[in-house]
Amino acid sequence: MTERLDQPRELTTRLRPYYDPEAFGRLSERIARFLGTARFIVYMTVFVSVWLLWNFLTPFKFDPYPFIFLTLMLSLQASYAAPLILLAQNRQADRDRIQYEQDRLTADRNQAEIEYLTREIAGLRIALGEIATREYIRSELQRLQEELAQQQ
What are the average pLDDT values for consecutive 10-residue runs of the chain, which has 152 residues? 73 74 90 92 96 92 92 95 92 95 97 96 84 83 91 82
Alpha carbon distance 141, 95 (integer Å):
70
Q: Provide the residue range defining the domain that includes 124.
A: 21-146
Predicted pLDDT of residue 36 = 87
> Rounded CA gap, 128 and 9, in Å?
75
This prediction has a pTM of: 0.60
7 falls within a domain: no
Q: Is residue 44 part of a domain?
A: yes
Report which of 74, 82, 85 is spatially closest to residue 28, judged by C-alpha positions: 85
- The answer to whether residue 1 is domain-embedded is no
Please state, in angstroms and rounded to a whole number, the distance separating the CA atoms of residues 66 and 61.
12
Say if residues 28 and 88 touch (Cβ distance below 8 Å). Answer: yes
Short-list 42, 35, 39, CA closest to 83: 35
The number of distinct structural domains making up the chain is: 1
Look at residue 127 in the predicted model and tell me its pLDDT: 81
